[in-house]
Structure 1
Amino acid sequence: MNSEKTSKFIVIEGLEGAGKSSAISLVRDFIEKHTGTAPVCTREPGGTPLAERMRDLVKIADESDPLCDEAECLLLYAARAQLVANVIKPALTRGEWVLGDRHNLSSLAYQGGGRGLMDLVEVVSHATLGEFKPDLTIYLDIDPELGLSRAASRGELDRIEKQELAFFERARGTFLSFASKDDSIAVIDAGQTMAEVHKDILALLQSMEW
């Protein structure tokens, strides 16, 4: 690998309990060693003051006014549009690397596959993002039952994490379907030990031409 600075947008994806946080830390350190500069780190939904407020609307359940599936989808894309326009694209233009905790693939999987709103997701995705996409997406694949068990052990679950198992099974199937058709999406077996997962991620990063 060379040390020439060329901005890249890398995203970590996965179901709840897949180990995204530790993977993000690993990739962040790799990017900093590779480029000499820490990447701009983002999370979705969120990442800007306004987008963080939208995150709260999506994550927090209000029994008096349940968030409908279509509104959830639109809020997520509104937050994503803010983040891309105000953080991600400006950083890439400056020559900085960006490391994202989730991006558009999550909406395709969760709202498209999980909620059954793929037609809406694809229309809104095209309208808000056009052809913009990550240079690399690392999808941490895990059996939903195992992932949810891990997530529950961390503490109280949010509104999304409380969805039925079938929702996450549909989401996983959608993640894998898109990965099978897109060379920029790499699948890592997240059911392994953390050490094994990290070894596979590093091997992936080291094998790529940057």
Structure 2
Amino acid sequence: MTRRGRFITFEGTEGVGKSTQLKTAARTLEALGIDCVVTREPGGTPMAEAIRDLLLAPRDEPVNETTELLLMFAARAQHLHTRIITELNAGRWVLCDRFTDATFAYQGGGRGVAEDRIAQLETLVQGDLRPDQVIVLDAPVETGMTRARHRGELDRFEQEAVAFFERIRATYLRRASADPTRYQIVDAARELDAVTADVAECIRHLVSTAV
């Protein structure tokens, strides 16, 4: 019987280097002989990517907070049930750029959606599936936004005010402090080599304790 793979998510505000550190994690796992896949949210399948485009595109029409929340979970349901669970059941480790912690942070902390509403959708869509490890890349908001602006044109979320991202960061840190076994905070404001070394060590530790 194939052993289930591990599910590792990378979280954080804009510009903290999630994409870069997902590559670090994948390289580390591959060097240890572990088969893995890298994906992202919202997105990860053709249909979920189409929903991502709807969510991120700047638009004149105001987006209702409930619309945004339901679209996030619609993309997640498709991603989870057509890709993530299949990969995990095949024994592959799944590395995901954001998952439901991002919804608690962005739609909960950022938009002010009640956490019990998010939790109800989390249970509906995911059942009891949760990430095995959440790596939170943390940096001051201004640091991250400066990096994000250097990447090019900002999407609908990246155009929000600094206070929006301060609430998001605070939500991430609060969730991580409430469950320090499952969450690992990495200081992403440092030089890239230091961040990369910490992420690689997180992954090696997780492999060493996997059963």
Per the TM superposition, whether the score is higher than 0.5 is: yes
Aligned residue runs from structure 1 range 46-195, under 5 A = 46-63=43-60, 65-117=61-113, 118-182=115-179, 183-195=181-193
Residues 160-197 of structure 1: per-residue CA shift (max 9 Å, x gap): 00111111100111001110112211000001111110
For structure 1, list consecutive stretches of 5 or more residues without a partner in the other structure: none
Conserved 8 A contact 1:112-1:119? no
Q: How many corresponding residue pairs?
A: 205
CA distance in 2, matches of 1:187, 1:202: 13
CA RMSD across the alignment: 1.5
Q: Conserved in 2, the CA contact under 8 Å of 1:61 and 1:67?
A: no
Contact 1:43 1:101 in 2 (8 A): yes
Residues 135 and 176 of structure 1: is their aligned pair in 2 closer, same or farther, counting only changes over 3 Å? same
Q: Which runs of 4+ in 1 moved over 6 A?
A: none
Q: CA deviation at 1:203?
A: 2.2
SS at match of 2:32: helix
The answer (yes or no) to whether the contact 1:26–1:198 under 8 Å persists in 2 is yes
Aligned-partner Cα distance in 1 for 2:38–2:205: 23
Give how far 1:24 is off. 0.6
TM-score computed with the length of structure 2 as normaliser: 0.93
Relative to structure 1, the CA distance from residue 126 to residue 36 in structure 2 (aligned partners, 3 Å threshold; closer, same or farther) is: closer
In structure 2, runs of 5+ residues without a counterpart are: none
Alignment-derived partner of residue 25 in structure 1: 23
Q: What percentage of aligned pairs have identical amino acids?
A: 40
Query: What does 1:1-20 align with in structure 2 at a 5 Å threshold?
Result: 7-20=5-18
Shift of residue 85 of structure 1? Answer: 0.3
Spell out, residue by residue over 1:46-87, the C-alpha distance to the aligned partner (whole angstroms, 9 max, x if none). 111111111011000221x32211101110000001101000
Whole-angstrom distance in 2 between the partners of 1:174 and 1:193: 24
